[in-house]
Amino acid sequence: MKIQTPPGMRDFYPAEMRLQNWLFRHWREVSRAFGCEEYEGPIFEYLDLYTLKSGPGIVSELFNFEDRGERRFAIRPEMTPTLARMVAARANTLPRPIKWFSTPRMCRAEKPQRGRLREFFQWNVDILGVDDVLADAEVIAVAIEFVRRIGLSERDVVMRVSSRPIAASVLAGMGITSDEEANRAFGLIDRYDKLGRDEFRRQWQEFAPAVDCDRLLAHLEQTDLQQSLGLAEAAGPAGEAAAKQFEELWQRLRQFQVDSYCAFDLKVVRGLAYYTGPVFELSARQGGLRALLGGGRYDNLTQLLDGPSVSGVGFGMGDAPVLELLTELGKLPALSAGLDVFVIDAGSELFPKAVEITSQLRRAGFACDFSYKRQAIGKQFAQAEKRGARLAIVVGAELAESGQLTVKDMRTAQQQAVAAAELLADPVSTLGAMR
Is the confidence at residue 48, as pLDDT, over 90?
yes
pLDDT of residue 289: 59
Is the confidence at residue 132, as pLDDT, over 80?
yes
pLDDT band at residue 222 under the 50/70/90 scheme: confident
3 state SS for the chain: CCCCCCCCCCCCCHHHHHHHHHHHHHHHHHHHHCCCEECCCCCEEEHHHHHHHHCHHHHHHCCEEECCCCCEEEECCCCHHHHHHHHHHCCCCCCCCEEEEECCEEECCCCCECCECCEEEEEEEEEECCCCCHHHHHHHHHHHHHHHHCCCCCCCEEEEEEEHHHHHHHHHCCCCCCHHHHHHHHHHHHCHHHHCHHHHHHHHHHHCCCCCHHHHHHHHHHCCHHHHHHHHHHCCHHHHHHHHHHHHHHHHHHHCCCHHHEEECCCCCCCCCCCCCEEEEEEECCCCCCEEEEEEEECCCHHHHCCCCCCEEEEEEEHHHHHHHHHHHCCCCCCCCCCCEEEEECCHHHHHHHHHHHHHHHHCCCCEEECCCCCCHHHHHHHHHHCCCCEEEEECCHHHHHCEEEEEECCCCCEEEEEHHHHHHCHHHHHHCCC
pLDDT band at residue 434 under the 50/70/90 scheme: low
Top-confidence residue, 86 or 206: 86
From residue 350, how far is each of 342, 343, 355 by CA, in Å? 15, 11, 9
pLDDT of residue 116: 82
pLDDT band at residue 277 under the 50/70/90 scheme: very high
> For 84-110, what is each residue's pLDDT tens digit?
999 999 999 999 999 999 999 999 998
Find the radius of gyration of the CA atoms of the chain: 28
Top-confidence residue, 290 or 122: 122
Is the confidence at residue 272, as pLDDT, over 60?
yes
> For 370-421, what is each residue's pLDDT tens digit?
999 999 999 999 999 999 999 999 999 988 889 999 999 999 999 999 999 9
Cα separation, 425 vs 429, whole angstroms? 9
Cα separation, 396 vs 25, whole angstroms? 39
Q: What is the mean pLDDT of residues 42-49?
A: 96
Q: Which of 46, 13, 26 is nearest to 103 (CA)?
A: 26
Q: What is the mean pLDDT of residues 39-44?
A: 97
Is the confidence at residue 68, as pLDDT, over 70?
yes
Please give the mean pLDDT across all residues of the chain.
Answer: 91
Is the confidence at residue 192, as pLDDT, over 90?
no
Amino acid identity, position 397:
A
Find the helix packing angle between 14-33 and 134-149, rounded to 10°. Answer: 140
pLDDT band at residue 79 under the 50/70/90 scheme: very high
Top-confidence residue, 196 or 251: 251
Domains parsed from the chain with CATH numbers? 14-329 (3.30.930.10), 339-433 (3.40.50.800)
Is the confidence at residue 223, as pLDDT, over 80?
no
pLDDT of residue 71: 97
Top-confidence residue, 16 or 216: 16
Q: What is the mean pLDDT of residues 336-341?
A: 87
pLDDT of residue 433: 60
